Amino acid sequence: MSSTTSPLAVPEAWDLVVPEYVRELQPVFENFARDALARAAVGRGSRVVDVAAGPGTLALIAARGGARVTAVDFAPRMISVLRERVAAEGLAVESLIGDGMALALPDGTFDAAFSMFGLMFFPDRPRGFRELLRVLVPGGRAVVSSWIPLERSPAMNVFYRSFAELMSGGGGGAPRDGMMPLSDPETCQREMAGAGFVDVSVHEVSARVDYASTAALVDAMVRSAAPIVLARRALGEKWGGVERALLDKVSSELGTGPQVGLFNAYLTVGSRK
Protein backbone atom coordinates (compact mmCIF):
# COMPACT_ATOMS: atom_id res chain seq x y z
CA MET A 1 0.00 0.00 0.00
CA SER A 2 1.33 3.42 -0.90
CA SER A 3 2.31 5.68 1.94
CA THR A 4 0.71 8.59 0.07
CA THR A 5 -2.83 9.28 1.18
CA SER A 6 -5.30 9.44 -1.69
CA PRO A 7 -7.12 12.75 -2.15
CA LEU A 8 -10.25 10.60 -1.97
CA ALA A 9 -9.42 9.62 1.62
CA VAL A 10 -10.56 12.98 3.00
CA PRO A 11 -14.17 14.03 3.68
CA GLU A 12 -14.04 17.17 1.54
CA ALA A 13 -13.76 15.21 -1.71
CA TRP A 14 -17.08 13.49 -1.07
CA ASP A 15 -18.86 16.50 0.39
CA LEU A 16 -18.20 18.31 -2.89
CA VAL A 17 -20.08 15.79 -5.04
CA VAL A 18 -23.37 15.79 -3.12
CA PRO A 19 -26.08 15.74 -4.56
CA GLU A 20 -24.87 14.97 -8.10
CA TYR A 21 -23.32 11.74 -6.80
CA VAL A 22 -26.77 10.61 -5.67
CA ARG A 23 -28.49 11.66 -8.88
CA GLU A 24 -26.02 10.13 -11.33
CA LEU A 25 -24.58 7.13 -9.52
CA GLN A 26 -27.36 5.92 -7.23
CA PRO A 27 -28.73 3.26 -9.63
CA VAL A 28 -25.24 1.87 -10.17
CA PHE A 29 -24.46 1.59 -6.48
CA GLU A 30 -27.89 0.17 -5.65
CA ASN A 31 -27.08 -2.77 -7.93
CA PHE A 32 -23.93 -3.54 -5.96
CA ALA A 33 -25.65 -2.94 -2.60
CA ARG A 34 -28.41 -5.47 -3.31
CA ASP A 35 -25.87 -8.06 -4.37
CA ALA A 36 -23.79 -7.44 -1.22
CA LEU A 37 -26.81 -7.71 1.08
CA ALA A 38 -27.78 -11.01 -0.50
CA ARG A 39 -24.26 -12.42 -0.12
CA ALA A 40 -24.30 -11.54 3.58
CA ALA A 41 -27.78 -13.08 3.99
CA VAL A 42 -29.20 -9.88 5.48
CA GLY A 43 -32.87 -10.14 6.36
CA ARG A 44 -35.50 -8.72 8.70
CA GLY A 45 -34.00 -8.16 12.12
CA SER A 46 -30.37 -8.46 10.96
CA ARG A 47 -28.00 -6.02 12.67
CA VAL A 48 -26.07 -4.23 9.93
CA VAL A 49 -23.26 -1.68 9.92
CA ASP A 50 -22.48 0.23 6.72
CA VAL A 51 -19.03 1.85 6.88
CA ALA A 52 -18.30 4.71 4.46
CA ALA A 53 -22.04 4.69 3.89
CA GLY A 54 -22.13 7.76 1.66
CA PRO A 55 -25.70 8.96 1.07
CA GLY A 56 -27.08 5.68 2.42
CA THR A 57 -27.39 3.53 -0.67
CA LEU A 58 -26.96 0.18 1.08
CA ALA A 59 -28.21 1.40 4.46
CA LEU A 60 -31.60 2.44 3.08
CA ILE A 61 -32.13 -0.79 1.12
CA ALA A 62 -31.29 -2.83 4.22
CA ALA A 63 -33.56 -0.75 6.44
CA ARG A 64 -36.46 -1.04 3.99
CA GLY A 65 -36.08 -4.80 4.33
CA GLY A 66 -36.38 -4.65 8.11
CA ALA A 67 -32.70 -4.74 9.10
CA ARG A 68 -31.45 -2.69 12.05
CA VAL A 69 -28.88 -0.43 10.46
CA THR A 70 -26.03 1.74 11.70
CA ALA A 71 -24.44 3.91 8.99
CA VAL A 72 -21.03 5.55 9.41
CA ASP A 73 -19.30 8.06 7.13
CA PHE A 74 -16.57 10.64 7.62
CA ALA A 75 -18.15 13.20 5.24
CA PRO A 76 -20.68 15.42 7.08
CA ARG A 77 -22.65 16.32 3.95
CA MET A 78 -23.03 12.68 2.98
CA ILE A 79 -24.41 11.91 6.45
CA SER A 80 -26.71 14.94 6.20
CA VAL A 81 -28.14 13.66 2.91
CA LEU A 82 -28.48 10.17 4.38
CA ARG A 83 -30.42 11.55 7.36
CA GLU A 84 -32.73 13.52 5.07
CA ARG A 85 -33.48 10.43 3.02
CA VAL A 86 -34.04 8.29 6.12
CA ALA A 87 -36.44 10.87 7.56
CA ALA A 88 -38.34 11.20 4.27
CA GLU A 89 -39.02 7.45 4.23
CA GLY A 90 -39.66 7.15 7.96
CA LEU A 91 -36.92 4.56 8.37
CA ALA A 92 -34.96 3.76 11.53
CA VAL A 93 -31.27 4.11 10.71
CA GLU A 94 -28.66 5.20 13.25
CA SER A 95 -26.23 7.51 11.44
CA LEU A 96 -22.82 8.57 12.73
CA ILE A 97 -20.03 10.80 11.49
CA GLY A 98 -16.95 8.72 12.15
CA ASP A 99 -13.71 7.11 11.04
CA GLY A 100 -13.94 3.65 9.47
CA MET A 101 -10.46 2.87 10.76
CA ALA A 102 -11.53 3.53 14.38
CA LEU A 103 -15.23 2.78 14.70
CA ALA A 104 -16.89 4.12 17.83
CA LEU A 105 -18.87 0.88 18.08
CA PRO A 106 -18.64 -2.05 20.51
CA ASP A 107 -17.11 -5.42 19.68
CA GLY A 108 -19.31 -8.24 18.41
CA THR A 109 -22.41 -6.15 17.70
CA PHE A 110 -23.41 -6.78 14.09
CA ASP A 111 -24.52 -9.74 11.99
CA ALA A 112 -23.21 -8.14 8.79
CA ALA A 113 -20.74 -5.37 7.98
CA PHE A 114 -20.22 -3.55 4.69
CA SER A 115 -17.94 -1.02 3.07
CA MET A 116 -19.01 -0.26 -0.47
CA PHE A 117 -16.21 1.51 -2.39
CA GLY A 118 -15.05 3.17 0.82
CA LEU A 119 -12.50 1.00 2.59
CA MET A 120 -10.54 0.78 -0.67
CA PHE A 121 -9.49 4.42 -0.15
CA PHE A 122 -8.59 4.17 3.55
CA PRO A 123 -5.01 5.27 4.27
CA ASP A 124 -4.66 2.11 6.39
CA ARG A 125 -6.76 -0.61 4.77
CA PRO A 126 -5.68 -3.37 7.19
CA ARG A 127 -7.11 -1.32 10.08
CA GLY A 128 -10.33 -0.89 8.15
CA PHE A 129 -10.65 -4.62 7.59
CA ARG A 130 -9.83 -5.35 11.24
CA GLU A 131 -12.50 -2.91 12.41
CA LEU A 132 -15.14 -4.66 10.29
CA LEU A 133 -14.05 -7.97 11.83
CA ARG A 134 -14.07 -6.56 15.37
CA VAL A 135 -17.67 -5.34 15.29
CA LEU A 136 -19.05 -8.59 13.83
CA VAL A 137 -20.56 -11.39 15.90
CA PRO A 138 -18.97 -14.85 15.45
CA GLY A 139 -20.27 -16.18 12.15
CA GLY A 140 -21.10 -12.67 10.91
CA ARG A 141 -20.18 -11.75 7.34
CA ALA A 142 -18.52 -8.70 5.83
CA VAL A 143 -18.61 -7.50 2.22
CA VAL A 144 -16.12 -4.99 0.83
CA SER A 145 -16.43 -3.72 -2.74
CA SER A 146 -13.73 -2.25 -4.98
CA TRP A 147 -13.32 -1.42 -8.66
CA ILE A 148 -12.06 -3.79 -11.32
CA PRO A 149 -9.40 -2.14 -13.55
CA LEU A 150 -10.89 0.31 -16.02
CA GLU A 151 -9.54 -1.56 -19.03
CA ARG A 152 -12.63 -3.74 -18.63
CA SER A 153 -14.82 -0.65 -19.19
CA PRO A 154 -13.68 0.88 -22.49
CA ALA A 155 -15.64 4.15 -22.42
CA MET A 156 -14.77 4.89 -18.80
CA ASN A 157 -11.16 3.99 -19.45
CA VAL A 158 -10.97 6.52 -22.28
CA PHE A 159 -12.61 9.18 -20.11
CA TYR A 160 -10.28 8.77 -17.12
CA ARG A 161 -7.17 8.32 -19.26
CA SER A 162 -8.02 11.50 -21.16
CA PHE A 163 -8.58 13.36 -17.92
CA ALA A 164 -5.28 12.16 -16.44
CA GLU A 165 -3.42 13.19 -19.59
CA LEU A 166 -4.96 16.66 -19.53
CA MET A 167 -4.02 17.05 -15.89
CA SER A 168 -0.45 15.91 -16.63
CA GLY A 169 -0.55 13.30 -13.87
CA GLY A 170 -2.13 15.64 -11.33
CA GLY A 171 -5.63 14.25 -11.55
CA GLY A 172 -6.49 14.53 -7.88
CA GLY A 173 -7.00 10.84 -7.24
CA ALA A 174 -8.03 9.70 -10.72
CA PRO A 175 -7.13 6.14 -11.66
CA ARG A 176 -3.76 5.88 -13.34
CA ASP A 177 -3.30 3.13 -15.93
CA GLY A 178 -6.79 1.98 -15.01
CA MET A 179 -5.72 0.85 -11.55
CA MET A 180 -7.16 1.65 -8.14
CA PRO A 181 -6.70 0.06 -4.68
CA LEU A 182 -7.96 -3.52 -4.25
CA SER A 183 -8.20 -3.88 -8.02
CA ASP A 184 -7.19 -7.52 -8.33
CA PRO A 185 -8.78 -10.56 -6.68
CA GLU A 186 -5.54 -11.81 -5.13
CA THR A 187 -5.06 -8.56 -3.19
CA CYS A 188 -8.72 -8.53 -2.12
CA GLN A 189 -8.43 -12.11 -0.84
CA ARG A 190 -5.08 -11.54 0.87
CA GLU A 191 -6.03 -8.34 2.69
CA MET A 192 -9.36 -9.61 4.01
CA ALA A 193 -7.87 -12.93 5.11
CA GLY A 194 -4.91 -11.10 6.62
CA ALA A 195 -7.28 -9.22 8.92
CA GLY A 196 -8.56 -12.52 10.33
CA PHE A 197 -11.56 -13.28 8.14
CA VAL A 198 -12.24 -16.88 7.11
CA ASP A 199 -14.00 -18.38 4.09
CA VAL A 200 -12.97 -15.37 1.99
CA SER A 201 -14.25 -15.28 -1.59
CA VAL A 202 -14.15 -12.68 -4.36
CA HIS A 203 -17.02 -12.16 -6.80
CA GLU A 204 -17.32 -10.05 -9.95
CA VAL A 205 -20.45 -7.90 -10.29
CA SER A 206 -21.29 -5.43 -13.06
CA ALA A 207 -23.73 -2.58 -13.63
CA ARG A 208 -24.42 -0.70 -16.85
CA VAL A 209 -25.40 2.89 -17.56
CA ASP A 210 -26.50 3.98 -21.04
CA TYR A 211 -25.65 7.55 -22.03
CA ALA A 212 -27.40 9.30 -24.93
CA SER A 213 -24.11 10.67 -26.22
CA THR A 214 -20.44 11.10 -25.41
CA ALA A 215 -21.28 14.61 -24.19
CA ALA A 216 -23.84 13.16 -21.76
CA LEU A 217 -21.28 10.70 -20.38
CA VAL A 218 -18.66 13.43 -19.89
CA ASP A 219 -21.20 15.76 -18.30
CA ALA A 220 -22.39 13.10 -15.86
CA MET A 221 -18.87 12.18 -14.79
CA VAL A 222 -17.73 15.79 -14.49
CA ARG A 223 -20.58 16.48 -12.08
CA SER A 224 -20.51 13.29 -10.01
CA ALA A 225 -16.98 11.84 -9.93
CA ALA A 226 -14.99 13.02 -6.91
CA PRO A 227 -11.57 13.21 -8.66
CA ILE A 228 -13.02 15.43 -11.38
CA VAL A 229 -14.87 17.69 -8.96
CA LEU A 230 -11.66 18.15 -6.95
CA ALA A 231 -9.81 19.19 -10.10
CA ARG A 232 -12.61 21.55 -11.14
CA ARG A 233 -12.44 23.34 -7.83
CA ALA A 234 -8.64 23.56 -7.90
CA LEU A 235 -8.58 25.02 -11.42
CA GLY A 236 -11.29 27.60 -10.85
CA GLU A 237 -11.91 29.75 -13.94
CA LYS A 238 -9.50 27.62 -15.98
CA TRP A 239 -11.79 24.60 -15.68
CA GLY A 240 -14.05 25.57 -18.60
CA GLY A 241 -11.20 25.15 -21.07
CA VAL A 242 -10.16 21.84 -19.54
CA GLU A 243 -13.71 20.49 -19.72
CA ARG A 244 -14.01 21.44 -23.39
CA ALA A 245 -10.66 19.83 -24.12
CA LEU A 246 -11.76 16.72 -22.21
CA LEU A 247 -14.93 16.38 -24.29
CA ASP A 248 -12.95 16.86 -27.51
CA LYS A 249 -10.36 14.29 -26.46
CA VAL A 250 -12.92 11.65 -25.45
CA SER A 251 -15.03 12.29 -28.57
CA SER A 252 -12.00 11.88 -30.80
CA GLU A 253 -11.67 8.29 -29.56
CA LEU A 254 -15.28 7.28 -28.95
CA GLY A 255 -17.18 9.39 -31.45
CA THR A 256 -20.12 11.55 -30.41
CA GLY A 257 -22.95 9.01 -30.34
CA PRO A 258 -24.50 6.91 -27.55
CA GLN A 259 -22.11 5.37 -25.01
CA VAL A 260 -22.25 2.52 -22.52
CA GLY A 261 -20.69 3.02 -19.11
CA LEU A 262 -19.72 -0.31 -17.56
CA PHE A 263 -19.13 -0.29 -13.81
CA ASN A 264 -17.33 -3.50 -12.84
CA ALA A 265 -16.59 -4.38 -9.23
CA TYR A 266 -15.15 -7.02 -6.97
CA LEU A 267 -17.24 -7.94 -3.94
CA THR A 268 -14.98 -9.58 -1.38
CA VAL A 269 -16.87 -11.60 1.24
CA GLY A 270 -15.56 -13.08 4.46
CA SER A 271 -16.78 -14.34 7.83
CA ARG A 272 -15.71 -13.93 11.43
CA LYS A 273 -14.89 -17.25 13.13
What confidence tens digit (pLDDT) does each residue in 64-82 have? 999 999 999 999 988 999 9
At residue 217, the pLDDT reads 97
2, pLDDT greater than 50:
no
Least confident of 68-77, 147-156, 170-179, 194-203: 170-179
14, pLDDT greater than 80:
no
What confidence tens digit (pLDDT) does each residue in 203-216 have? 999 999 999 999 99
CA 252, distance to chain mean position in Å, is: 29
Structural domains of the chain, ranges and CATH numbers in brackets: 7-271 (3.40.50.150)
